[in-house]
A and B are shown apart, each in its own frame.
Chain A
Amino acid sequence: MRRDLPVWLGFIGGMVVTLETFFDVQIIKEMSNSFLQWRVVMAAIALFLGGGNMIRIHSKHIQRKKAVNSMILISSMFILFFLGVLDSRGIKSPTYKFIFDNMYTPLGATVFSMNAFYIASACYRAFRVRNGQAAVLLFSGVLVIMGTVGIGAVIWGQFPVISQWILKIPNSAAMRGMSMGAALGMVGVSLRVVLGLERGHLGAQ
């Protein structure tokens, strides 16, 4: 029962949403719309589950080693949660706005900005002309960069033209091939899930 029920539910849900794409039948359409809206509600519930899981894991960390980062994470999570629940204005409350604009946003942006430094260092170390393929990657990368930034156009007016050509022709061709391959793979995996052949997500071996 624990194994079969989710498989059957998956089969019914998957078939209804798939059939709705191919057949214009009102009842299937309505069922499909309902399933999609249930899924949105379930995703919202999953956010709570995720929050609960984080509390469980980090509480253990705190108990074991008095981890400062875990304490900060849990306390900031609770502060924001209660601010949202207690103040009926939710994200419109001045306190939430203050925390979001002056703490959360700058911290998030700062962490992401660090990437610029790591990328600069990584490019310098990794982009070496070790063979023909590396050379193609390197030259196309440099040409695209030079064509995208203003200083490239100042150095040579053809950089933007070459950059656009690389993005439009070879890049589009390669990405289309990869996208089609990935899409076909996804159709195959989805079919296996809907038909109950793939049970990895249920914890089966």
Chain B
Amino acid sequence: MLNTFMNLDRRVIYVVLLVVLFIPLYKPIGLPLPITRESKATYEFIDKLPADSVVLMINSTGPSVEAELYPQTLTMARHLMSKNIKIVICSLAVEAPRYNTKLFERWAAEYKYESGRDYVILPYKAGGETAMAAIGRDIVSLYTTDDNNKPLAGMPLWSRIKSVKDFTCVIDIGGGESQRWMLGHIQAPHKVPSIAAITAVILAVTQPYFSSGQLVGMLSGLNGAAEYELQSKTPGPAAAGMDAQSLGHMWIVVLVLIGNIAYIASRSQTKKK
């Protein structure tokens, strides 16, 4: 018996995980979602931004992290648009431009946002940290056209930008190191308030920057997006997926407990012998 619990067949683990993920997606349970201080700070900071201010979003979303980062981008962008805050968005990941266009395909018409006047999508720049450094040093020289190859010069929104200091806030969306790059090349030298939208797996790495006040806000993983959706009273894809994530995590905790109880029991049995 103990041996069975100590060596559960992985197919059992997989099937139960599949079931606990599927059931709440099919029929949501409505589990409560605690709002973390990071999500609260993010929402409150964005909510207090003055209308007509300009926010820079730096997007590094790809398909592998889409499930966590795209709902965050959607809900924050929607909140910004509802407050008539202008958005400049750029990409540091090669897949990110498609997410940027999808974002405005989805919301621009509803909020009457026009390209060039209310938002600008900048093209992808290769180089990772170097591209971030170039944004920090001289964003105007780095970009000359938008993602439709239209010259930026003459666009009403772009004419307001002389340097990265002209943004009231910078939001980095990425699951890798881009938050550290943003802090090093934009937040620290120019003191632009910065927010990080991250995957849950790098929460432990990014947390110290929020605790120190270098980040004014931080959204972590799908629950970060769900918490933001709840605060902005616009439940969306993230909130819908939280029950499934919650139960999936619970199954992992149960597995760990089963494994350890069986392990400790078998050890005490061996000692007795």
Contact = CB atoms under 8 A, between A and B. Distances in A.
B260 A129 contact: yes
A121 B247 CA distance: 16
A79 interface: no
Sorting the interface of chain A by its residue count into under 10, 10 to 19, 20 to 34 or 35 or more gives: 35 or more
Contacts of A2: none
Interface centre among B34, B137, B200, B243 (most CB of A within 10 A): B34
A191 interface: no
Contacts of B137: 32-33, 36
Contacts of A97: 98
Given A44-B126, A111-B64, A172-B207, A128 B249 contact: no
B256 A175 contact: no
A112 B249 CA distance: 17
Interface of chain B: mostly helix, strand, loop or mixed? helix
Interface of chain A: mostly helix, strand, loop or mixed? helix
Interface in A147-205: 147-154, 160, 164, 167-168, 171-172, 175-176, 179
Interface stretch (A3-11, A58-66, A70-78, A102-110): A102-110
A145 B204 CA distance: 12
B256 A123 contact: yes
Contact of A125 (B33, B64, B245, B259): B259
Given A124-B255, A168-B207, A149 B141 contact: no
Nearest to B94: A47
Nearest to A143: B253
B246 A116 contact: no
B34 A40 contact: no
A48 to B, nearest CB: 10
Interface in B142-158: 142, 147-148
Interface string A28-52: 0000110011011011101100000
Interface in B250-267: 250-253, 255-260, 263-264
A127 B258 CA distance: 11
A55 interface: no
A114 to B, nearest CB: 10
A123 B128 contact: no
A79 B256 CA distance: 46
Interface of B: 8, 10, 13-14, 17, 21, 31-34, 36-37, 62-67, 94-95, 97-98, 101-102, 125-128, 130-131, 133-134, 137-138, 141-142, 147-148, 200, 203-205, 207-208, 211-212, 223, 242-243, 245-253, 255-260, 263-264
Given A116-B21, A153-B34, 6 more contacts: A104-B63, A112-B67, A116-B17, A120-B14, A149-B249, A171-B208
19 contacts: A33-B137, A37-B141, A46-B126, A91-B101, A97-B98, A104-B63, A106-B63, A109-B64, A113-B67, A120-B13, A121-B14, A124-B259, A128-B263, A141-B256, A145-B249, A146-B253, A154-B32, A160-B34, A168-B207
